[in-house]
Structure 1
């Protein structure tokens, strides 16, 4: 009886080593940039940034121009930071709600690589968008400001603007970390908004409680919003402490998200 030799069987599983990191980055970029929620979030960020900067420029055009031109561009960050954080959260939780995360982790078993690739793509997307927004805002507001940005003084121009770009990426990465940690879109958004918006207001209310509670108000300096504000202040010199604070608020959620991703089933 003749027996036909069986040919090599093709595995239906991804290789144990996973995809190359370049392919993983490309795949994450395709997923993120083809989501309508991504473009809606970036569009809202652009509209808020340019619109608020323009309103501030118009409001101060009839005054002595006491607000620095750089601050006119950076002022909308206190609002757009929420959109950035929410974008980071929904990019992750959207995959859990649709079940796509299972396909992602099947193609790439190295869960840390998945988190890193998604974080890089989201951060770069937000940074590029912020640079474009700043350029458009400067073009729109320049005719309305009494004095232009002093590019000859980096501490009053390129440094705070650069930190503004970094801060927006950091807010987005916080959302990514909370997304992996909580997996629920509503929960991740609630925590992100709570940390970025609600918590600073709550701590500032302790100022009316008297001097014995001023330590609570001072603790607000270590929140991500206050750290970003210190970094983007024109002429600021002592940048190490706020930079480390902002970095801690990025590393912390991402590390917790990585632990949750590795220890829980998709």
Structure 2
């Protein structure tokens, strides 16, 4: 079976799951709702001098990242739970191809869905903005780059969940570990900010966690000038989590029976 046909098969499986559409729908409700709340609270009162409308749109990533990770996890653990994985691997004997096809579908679908949702959130809050606060659609850093960075981050979160799903083969286990990596570890790392010099390596390591790297990437995409933060370290950290997780998943998939 050729790779395009495998991707098409995975796309059909992914889009026919009710959990896929429920996850995307909840992501849309949270993103648009939180963006409206932030904009109404800040822009409605005049807003601080540094208020950025695009920040209100991308801030919900801190919550919707969990939905992206969970969606990636259940995209594969459901197959292990029902035994469908045996049929998948029988139809696609090259296990690396099956893994790559599912990763392409999950990441691609999450990226596209997230971009549409973020764009819808931007349009939803536009009537609440003053003329000075409105989006500059002609400025890449004012709109398009942050939207792309946030959407790419959501795709990475989904791939992290997918990787843990392949590694653990348990829906509950994969979701628990995904939530731990995306949500719990950044909180733990923040506890050491005020610690002594001997503990600062934990804070430094925390900068490369997925959520922290995503925030840095989004913030860097909105900034310009010599003092702007570098986007490359954050992008490399997110790429490392994606590639490293998929490589680990591929190793386990090759060496363990379905």
TM-score where L is the length of structure 1: 0.90
Which of 1 and 2 has greater Rg? 1
1:26 paired with 2:12, answer no
1:139 paired with 2:123, answer yes
Please point out which of 48, 57, 70 is paired with 2:39: 57
Please point out which of 91, 94, 110 is paired with 1:107: 91
* Separation in structure 2 between the aligned mates of residue 134 and residue 221 of structure 1, nearest angstrom: 24
Number of the residue aligned with 1:45: 27
Number of the residue aligned with 1:200: 186
State the secondary structure of the residue aligned to 1:207. coil
* Separation in structure 1 between the aligned mates of residue 179 and residue 7 of structure 2, nearest angstrom: 28
* Separation in structure 1 between the aligned mates of residue 65 and residue 172 of structure 2, nearest angstrom: 17
Number of the residue aligned with 1:12: none
Greater shift in the superposed pair: 77-86 or 135-144: 135-144
* Separation in structure 2 between the aligned mates of residue 67 and residue 250 of structure 1, nearest angstrom: 32
* Separation in structure 1 between the aligned mates of residue 78 and residue 146 of structure 2, nearest angstrom: 33
1:223 paired with 2:209, answer yes
Number of the residue aligned with 2:248: 256
Query: How do 1:56-135 and structure 2 match up within 5 A?
Result: 56-60=38-42, 61-65=44-48, 66-135=50-119
1:243 paired with 2:235, answer yes
* Separation in structure 1 between the aligned mates of residue 51 and residue 246 of structure 2, nearest angstrom: 36
Find runs of 4+ consecutive structure 1 residues off by over 4 angstroms: none
CA deviations on 1:137-179 (whole Å, 9 max, x unpaired) are 1111001123112233322322121111111101001111111
RMSD: 1.3
Count of residues in Structure 1 that have an aligned counterpart in Structure 2: 248
* Separation in structure 1 between the aligned mates of residue 175 and residue 30 of structure 2, nearest angstrom: 19
* Separation in structure 1 between the aligned mates of residue 46 and residue 206 of structure 2, nearest angstrom: 32
* Separation in structure 2 between the aligned mates of residue 82 and residue 156 of structure 1, nearest angstrom: 26
TM-score where L is the length of structure 2: 0.93
